[in-house]
A and B are shown apart, each in its own frame.
Chain A
């Protein structure tokens, strides 16, 4: 995009404090009509805060927001919305029991006839909006029935339907399939041609490079870089984000040995509606990756091995046939599952770092026993240090931690159980580059100690970086098991999309 396009929204010298934390200190961003503007930075760099300043949810302590006919910022989220700033946030904001059409046109935007809602026209308009995203869903079916990626697309459809002049997409792709991502990008480009500006936040550098015209990089609440995307390459962008080169951390693949001992073996494992005939083998000291689209059955497979479903077929742990009916039973044999959704399934957010870290390893103790605080403090201190968890104190509640640190607490909780089979579902979802590298390091250390590891991930580069073997699933079936040397991104994407 040409540099002389007019700015539609500009924030200058923005400061924002939360208590003792200086979330933004002199951040600035200029968004021009018809461009896709990438906003990147590590977790905690102030991206979310800056977005909330742009869309009127937060008033800055200092600095100005101007544009869209306003010279002194917005008077609140509603004012910003009416001025033409629409936001798709990370958290879903759909009403699950209302229909897709109602959700898309919520907020007095449903067509009326004779004063009452015209349901036929509502459905038609919703269908029209969805068509631009390539969404083929029935407008009257309830949102509850949608898969997470479909719900995300409905959310985007709602933002598109608002005829916004600035569209803010805060990590819109984290639960989307590759196909859905490319459809989304198509509609974003169409909006650009109509002069709509898009602010795009993502942790996936590939996406930044493929869609953005310009990038603004935040670090510690300050804008440390802004330039056309052509002025960056992967490494320069990452080092700008973290303030140093991460090259060495990302790809240190120290030689290690995979033991002969098989930790997990499944034979013809099936769960109706999720996966069929899965043969999987994980050896001690091996990291096996599960690749495939969302909905390929990866999550259900891990959950089944953890005793959460009742699959058919045979499971052997350490050579012994096993059949788990509950997580407790699986944990007795040293099987651990780090679930994908840390807020809903992983952590008790209101409880402390220490209590969360010890929750799983202590779950087998007699319940009327008295915890020993001194032992606990020592154990928790050792774990937080080993995992590099940054928290105010052991007794700080987990919801005060950043996403990356929460994820490390979740991982640490399962390492405390000393598992022999460690299963991780999307272990780095919504986590910044620095925390990602630390999570990989922790996984490699566990591998050195002879733990068998299964990682399910939607991010192929991540699997290529850490796995010894990559198993690709498509629609519930294993379509390939590739040794690392034979795997590359294109092959995995092709296999995962069902093109064998």
Chain B
């Protein structure tokens, strides 16, 4: 009991998790099997798969104290790359998928990563610029036309299933587990937190902060490209119009999940909860026949409230409360 209380008081995503449980309970009671049916749950998870994959990648960037506004354009661009490599170059589907994800990683690392990590430009300006740049390339290259991708494998990524669970859900799970393990159990993961916590101290400790930042933007690029592949699979085509709302939704999910926008604190578990919250709200409101615009309104309010809660947690009084619950002694009285 005490442990559970302690966790609730110290965890940075406990509030959103409680809210998630709350709205799940609410929709389950008011809508019953329309909400709780396995078909609907699968539908819910499938509908957030793109957001989930991008937001997991975005978590790495936010942990270093940045944000990547170009992820939406990268989703669209990588869908187009997939179509061009598969249709135009006639590459086999598995190769086309691998090439696309590698392309996303390289693009993120070489452009955003080097400009932010090496040239030390502002992440906000750089990714705002590349968002516009990539979106422009997508429109020119695709002629604003949808390009169909006729591949059973790529279609299977969007709509197939294995062991009774649809492929996008497997991909979500895989991405989450890999990201969780990397952040928790590698030195690279520690570097991400150290760079976000105090980049100067990390650099003076011999950590290659440039490499860390380049890698982090590579990770989010790879995730966005993978999301682009899933998107193309679900549509059976590459569309130049996808992804516009992704950057802000992904950032909202990450921040809802308790990762500090200043960096250094947080993780992908919270992000997963944040994504599920947004997805459940959207799904439940749709079942109730409420306009999905209300989902945006609610997400916005909750995001601000969540940041407010964080503020209270970080205040001196909140710190005292958290320490008391954890039973920690404060060693500094002076």
Contact = CB atoms under 8 A, between A and B. Distances in A.
B partners with A: yes
A345 B209 CA distance: 14
B185 A349 contact: no
Contact of B334 (A47, A339, A360, A365): A47
Interface in A327-358: 327-328, 331, 337, 339, 344-351, 355
Contact of B208 (A46, A328, A390): A328
B291 interface: no
Given A360-B206, A364-B206, A350 B197 contact: yes
Nearest to A328: B206
Contacts of A306: 204
A23 B186 CA distance: 39
Interface stretch (A14-22, A30-38, A191-199): A14-22
A223 B316 CA distance: 25
Interface string B186-225: 1110110110011011111111100100000000000000
A371 B198 contact: no
A22 B202 CA distance: 34
B204 A20 contact: no
Contacts of B333: 18, 21-24, 44-46, 49, 221, 402
Given A328-B208, A362-B187, A371-B190, A348 B334 contact: no
A45 B333 CA distance: 7
Interface stretch (B97-105, B117-125, B324-332): B324-332
A317 to B, nearest CB: 16
B330 A19 contact: yes
Contacts of A392: 328-329, 331
B34 interface: no
Given A344-B198, A347-B198, A365 B264 contact: no
Contacts of A337: 204
B334 A44 contact: yes
Contacts of B207: 359, 363
Contacts of B330: 18-21, 400
Interface string B19-50: 00000000000000000000000000000000
A21 B329 contact: yes
B265 interface: yes
B186 A363 contact: no
A358 to B, nearest CB: 9
A345 B201 contact: yes
A391 B320 CA distance: 17
A265 interface: no
Contacts of A362: 187
Contacts of A417: 206
B328 A396 contact: yes
Given A19-B323, A351-B193, A367 B186 contact: yes
A43 interface: yes
A487 interface: no
Interface residues of B, number: 35
A347 B331 contact: no
Nearest to A338: B204
Interface in B147-202: 182, 185-188, 190-191, 193-194, 197-198, 200-202
A367 B331 contact: no
Interface string A370-407: 11000000000000000000111100100011110100
Contact of B206 (A22, A43, A44, A363): A363
A278 to B, nearest CB: 21
Chain A interface: which size bin? Answer: 35 or more
A158 to B, nearest CB: 25
A359 B332 CA distance: 23
A45 B334 contact: yes
Contact of B205 (A20, A42, A360, A367): A360
B206 A391 contact: no
A458 to B, nearest CB: 21
B11 to A, nearest CB: 15
Contacts of A351: 193-194, 197, 264
Contacts of A364: 206
A347 B185 CA distance: 21
Contacts of B206: 327-328, 331, 360, 363-364, 417
Given A400-B328, A400-B331, A327 B197 contact: no
B329 A349 contact: no
B205 A359 contact: yes
A346 B200 CA distance: 8
Contacts of A47: 334
Nearest to A339: B204
A116 interface: no
Nearest to A337: B204
Contacts of B331: 21, 44, 390-392, 396, 400-402, 405
Nearest to B330: A21
Nearest to A20: B329
A345 B200 contact: yes
A364 B211 CA distance: 13
A396 to B, nearest CB: 7
Interface string A394-428: 00100011110100000001000100000000000
Contacts of A49: 333-334
Contacts of B185: 370-371
A417 B185 CA distance: 22
A48 interface: yes
Given A18-B320, A391-B331, A350 B264 contact: yes
A120 interface: no
Contact of B197 (A18, A19, A348): A348
A350 B265 contact: yes
A369 interface: yes
A48 B334 CA distance: 5
Nearest to B197: A348
A120 B203 CA distance: 44
A348 B198 contact: yes
B187 A400 contact: no
A221 B332 CA distance: 12
Interface of B: 182, 185-188, 190-191, 193-194, 197-198, 200-208, 211, 264-265, 316, 320-321, 323-324, 328-334
21 contacts: A19-B321, A19-B330, A21-B329, A21-B331, A44-B331, A46-B333, A47-B334, A337-B204, A344-B200, A344-B201, A349-B198, A350-B264, A351-B194, A360-B206, A364-B206, A367-B191, A368-B182, A370-B185, A391-B331, A392-B331, A402-B332
Top 8 nearest A-B pairs (CB, nearest first) are: A363-B206, A23-B333, A348-B197, A44-B334, A367-B188, A360-B205, A19-B320, A348-B198
Given A368-B188, A417-B206, 4 more contacts: A18-B316, A49-B334, A327-B205, A396-B331
